[in-house]
Amino acid sequence: GAVVSQHPSRVICKSGTSVKIECRSLDFQATTMFWYRQFPKQSLMLMATSNEGSKATYEQGVEKDKFLINHASLTLSTLTVTSAHPEDSSFYICSARRQHNEQFFGPGTRLTVL
Amino acid sequence: EDKVVQSPLSLVVHEGDTVTLNCSYEVTNFRSLLWYKQEKKAPTFLFMLTSSGIEKKSGRLSSILDKKELFSILNITATQTGDSAVYLCAVALSNQFYFGTGTSLTVIP
């Protein structure tokens, strides 16, 4: 089956620093990638939809200047959390959509901001 | 290699039918298994299972985990058209999630 990877899997950083998370589709080209935030025992919260070669579409309430998304190629999207604060600590999960609307999820990145 | 497999891939039933969705897994350092319902945008949390044999229930939905045989089932009784969605299973490790590819359920009136 299709594989989506995320890197890093876990990151710990100091408050005020920026963190970049990569999401790659390893064996297919993904025209659309999604970024989610996962809180314990809660639904995945969609943050933004990323289309290759165009600006990301952010969900209401998500600051686009704080969560920078770049979808540079059909296999790579990056999420940069700028000036991270402890309240940004969470699991960030990406998914990639293949043709026929198949969606494949990455394993997530656990961000801890001290 | 860790993996999560859901079956069937898709299912079409009539309103009122009962369905059983399956999720099997092979992972190391298992922490919990989660079920989600995805309609349009983000998956909605349904259940989190950590212990074997204890059924979790919410309305017409119920789920149980078997940690010996490494699988979970999600049951939906008296299905309604509003149950039409993709149902995702995910296994949580200490620092990662492994998602299945989902079961697409269509409930016909």
- For A44-102, write each residue's pLDDT tens digit: 888 999 988 888 999 999 999 999 999 888 899 999 999 999 999 999 999 998 876 67
Residue A101 has a pLDDT of 67
Contact A107 B96 (CB under 8 A): yes
Pick from B36, B86, B95: CB nearest A44: B36
Does the N-terminal peptide bond of residue B8 adopt cis geometry, omega within 30 degrees of 0?
A: yes
Pick from B45, B95, B99: CB nearest A43: B45
The residue among B50, B49, B47 whose CA lies nearest residue B61 is B47
Q: Report the residue of chain A nearest B48, measured CA to CA.
A: A41
> Distances in Å between the alpha carbon of B36 and those of A3, A73, B100, B103, B109?
20, 29, 11, 11, 23
Residue A3 has a pLDDT of 87
Residue A1 has a pLDDT of 58
Residues of chain B with Cβ-Cβ distance to A27 below 8 Å are none
Mean pLDDT (chain B, rounded): 92
CA–CA separation, A30 vs A25, rounded Å?
7
pLDDT, one tens digit per residue, over B85-100 is 999 999 988 777 888 8
